[in-house]
Amino acid sequence: MAALLCVRDRELMLEAAGMGEEVVAGSRHFDNVAAALYGGFTVVSDQRTRTVLQLRPPPFKVVVALPEIQVETRKARDILPDELPLNDAVCNLGWASGMVHAIMRRNVKSIGTYMDDRLALPYRRSLVPAFDEVRDSALEAGALGFSIGGSGPAVFAVATANAQRIRRAMVDAFRSNAGLKAESFITVPGKGAKVESLG
């Protein structure tokens, strides 16, 4: 019975968090809130039924750099085109499938390989000054993959080693190429939020 209550609590919290994101950002998305709530690697496989798939990721480090600028989520969503080339959609489906396979096989190197994107990144990278230089610096320092965190301006790299060197390279690249200070930290995939009580 307790397990059933816990599942129901998470479903309610997922719905409430999605509603909150809609108020703040203008539209309801469950990919970010599901990851924060459930932890690990999550896929919202059906927006209508709020079906969340959970996979246990292999151990790796996530190196995050947050430049001292602001990017509104609403603006980052508005910058995306209403129509996209079919080839780009097909490419992204391939990468997403490869990412799931890599996580199931616990292959961190492949996870980094599949972190590319043709649907949002080509448009949102312009919102992060020196994005290309920061990415190149991270990869040269040993990152296995690099991308923008959601709507930005945070960027992140995936690594199994050299995390401190990658962090310094990203911060230095923001400073030297865009004149921006950047907060940075190293973390690991989380376990998700803990539901204490809804009463």
- Active site amino acids: 21, 73
Q: What is the Cα 156 distance to its own chain's centre?
A: 8
Q: What is d(CA 13, CA 169) in angstroms, rounded to the nearest whole number? A: 38
Cβ neighbors of 178 (< 8 A, separation 6 or more) are: 67, 129, 130, 133
Q: What is d(CA 95, CA 3) in angstroms, rounded to the nearest whole number? A: 34
> Nearest to residue 56, comparing CAs of 33, 40, 42?
40
> Nearest to residue 69, comparing CAs of 12, 134, 13?
134
In the structure encoding, which two tokens stand for residue 29, read together? Answer: 């998305």
Contact 98, 73 (CB under 8 A): no
Strands (E), 10-141: 41-46, 51-55, 61-67
Q: How many C-beta atoms surround the C-beta of residue 34 within 10 A?
A: 23
